[in-house]
C-alpha cells in the first residue's frame, strides 16, 4: 500500500506568522494563519483538512460496506465538522461530527444505520482518531 506525503512551511511567530501546505499530488494546497485556524479569517487550516479526510474516507468506506451487504449505494454524501478548542494551556481537536445522506435502493433504515455505525468505527481515518477525538454520526437515507 502507498504512503502519502504532504509538507508545510510556517514563517514568523504564532499570531503574526503565516503558513502554507501542499500534498505530493499537487491537487491539495493552501495557506493558513492563526486567524484562519482559531478565528474566522480567510484561508485553510489543519482541521479543515482533517474534516475533508474523514468525510472522504467515511463516504468511500460506507459505499464498500453497503456494496458488501448487497445493497450498493447510488450516492453517499458526507459532511464533516472538526472542532478545535482551547484545553488547558493549549489546543485540542475535540470532536468530529459526521452527517451522511445516502441514496441506497433496497435497504431498510435499521440495516443502513448498522452499516453506517460500523463504518464510523472502522474507516481508516476514524481509526486514527479513535480514543482521541469524539466522533458523532447522523446518518439519513434519502
Place of cell 506568522: 17
Average pLDDT over residues 84-101: 96
In the 8-state DSSP scheme, what is residue 44?
B
Go through the domains of the chain in sequence order and give each one's CATH number: 6-38 (no CATH), 46-141 (3.30.300.20)
In tens, the pLDDT along 1-22 reads 899 999 999 999 999 999 999 9
20-79 confidence digits (pLDDT tens): 999 999 999 999 999 999 999 999 999 999 999 999 999 999 999 999 999 999 999 999
Answer for the pair 54, 80: CB distance below 8 angstroms, yes or no. yes
CB atoms within 10 A of CB 136: 11
Amino acid at each position: 500500500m502507498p504512503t502519502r506525503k504532504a509538507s508545510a512551511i510556517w514563517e514568523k511567530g504564532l499570531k503574526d506568522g503565516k503558513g502554507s501546505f501542499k500534498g505530493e499530488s499537487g491537487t491539495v494546497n493552501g495557506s493558513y494563519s492563526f486567524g484562519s485556524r482559531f478565528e474566522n479569517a480567510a484561508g485553510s487550516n489543519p482541521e479543515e483538512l482533517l474534516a475533508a479526510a474523514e468525510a472522504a474516507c467515511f463516504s468511500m468506506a460506507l459505499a464498500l460496506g453497503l456494496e458488501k451487504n448487497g445493497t450498493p449505494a447510488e450516492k453517499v454524501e458526507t459532511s464533516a465538522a472538526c472542532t478545535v478548542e482551547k484545553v488547558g494551556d493549549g489546543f485540542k481537536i475535540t470532536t468530529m461530527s459526521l452527517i451522511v445522506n445516502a441514496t441506497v435502493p433496497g435497504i431498510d433504515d435499521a440495516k443502513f444505520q448498522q452499516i453506517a455505525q460500523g463504518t464510523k468505527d472502522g474507516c481508516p481515518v476514524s481509526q486514527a482518531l479513535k480514543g482521541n477525538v469524539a466522533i458523532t454520526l447522523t446518518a439519513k437515507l434519502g
